[in-house]
Structures are given as structure tokens and as C-alpha cells.
């Protein structure tokens, strides 16, 4: 069942994207809080490599377990678009760009999973 691998990766990606969305929302909400440093999540490749045990599973009953969450890291923004005296490093434009990326990646992820699910059901019917 090679689709298991795809569904597993898609599940991890979905969770990663949800955590990134939470982080971006937090950044935007704290855009005017003094001393707040903008945060971002680890890249998805790093999360993927740290969980190769999850790829070997073939028992779909284990899907309900908590997937390993991407750790939140304080991102030192390399190219600040703006600097604030208060020590706040949030740039709303940058965060909105990230949010757009999250949105399209999430839509793609879900569409892929939905399509493969449908294909699997269709192949089982025939």
C-alpha cells in the first residue's frame, strides 16, 4: 500500500502548516507589543527527517496518535524590512506573505489527499 506513505507525509505537513499558521497569527497579534521577537517554525524538511519511524508504519489505526510537532524557534530575521525602537521585530507585510504561503500549501495538501483518497476508493470498488 504505497499510498500510506503519501497520507502519512500529508498528515505531518498539515499539522506543520497549522502550527505555522498559529505562529504567524501570534506574530501579527503582537505587532505592537514592545520587545516581542517575531517567531517562525522549523522548515518542514527538518521535521520530516526527525521522524523516519513514522514513515514505516502500516497500521492506519495509529493515525490518531499525536504527530511530532515542529518546534517553534525564534527566527532572527536576516533582512529586516523595518526596525522599531521598541525592540519589536514584527513586519506585518512579511507575516501576511507567510500566511498566503500557508494558505496555498494547505489547500494543495488537502486537494492531493482528497484526490488520492477518492482514487483509492474507486480502485477498491472495481
Partner 1 sequence: MVDPLKVSQGIAAAGLDVQSHRMRIIAENMANAQSTANTPGGDPYTRKTIVFSNDFDEALGSNLVGVEQIGKDPSPYRVERNPSHPAADADGNVKYPNVNILVEMADMRESNRSYEANLQMMKQSRSMVMMTIDMLRSS
Partner 2 sequence: MLEQLLPAISGIGSSTPVQGDTSVRSRVAVTETGDDFGNMLARMASDTFDTLKAAEATSVAGITDKASVQQVVESVMAAEQSLQTALAVRDKVVSAYLEISRMTI
- What is the DSSP-derived secondary structure letter of residue 41? E
CA 40 from chain centre, in angstroms, equals 10
The interface partner of residue 99, options being partner 2, partner 1, none and the CB cut-off 5 to 8 Å by kind, is: partner 1
- Answer yes or no whether residue 51 interacts with partner 1 by CB under 8 A: no
Contact positions toward partner 2, by CB under 8 A? 7, 11, 14-15, 18, 59-61, 63-64, 113, 117, 120-121, 124-125
Cα 15 from Cα 45, distance rounded (Å): 13
- CA–CA dist 37, 89 (Å, integer): 5
List Cα–Cα distances, 102 to 39, 99, 122, in angstroms.
15, 5, 30
- The nearest distance, CB 48 to partner 2, in angstroms, is 17
CB of 36 to partner 1, least distance (A): 6
Least Å distance, CB 63 to partner 2, is 5
Amino acid at each position: 500500500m504505497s499510498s500510506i506513505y503519501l497520507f502519512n507525509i500529508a498528515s505531518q505537513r498539515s499539522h506543520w502548516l497549522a502550527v505555522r499558521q498559529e505562529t504567524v497569527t501570534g506574530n501579527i497579534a503582537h505587532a505592537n507589543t514592545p520587545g516581542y521577537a517575531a517567531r517562525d517554525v522549523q522548515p518542514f524538511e527538518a521535521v520530516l527527517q526527525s521522524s523516519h519511524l513514522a514513515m514505516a508504519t502500516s497500521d492506519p489505526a495509529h493515525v490518531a496518535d499525536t504527530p511530532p510537532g515542529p518546534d517553534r524557534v525564534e527566527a532572527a530575521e536576516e533582512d529586516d524590512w523595518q526596525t522599531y525602537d521598541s525592540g519589536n521585530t514584527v513586519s506585518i507585510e512579511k507575516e501576511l506573505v507567510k500566511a498566503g504561503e500557508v494558505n496555498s500549501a494547505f489547500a494543495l495538501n488537502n486537494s492531493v489527499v482528497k484526490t488520492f483518497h477518492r482514487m483509492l476508493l474507486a480502485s477498491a470498488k472495481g
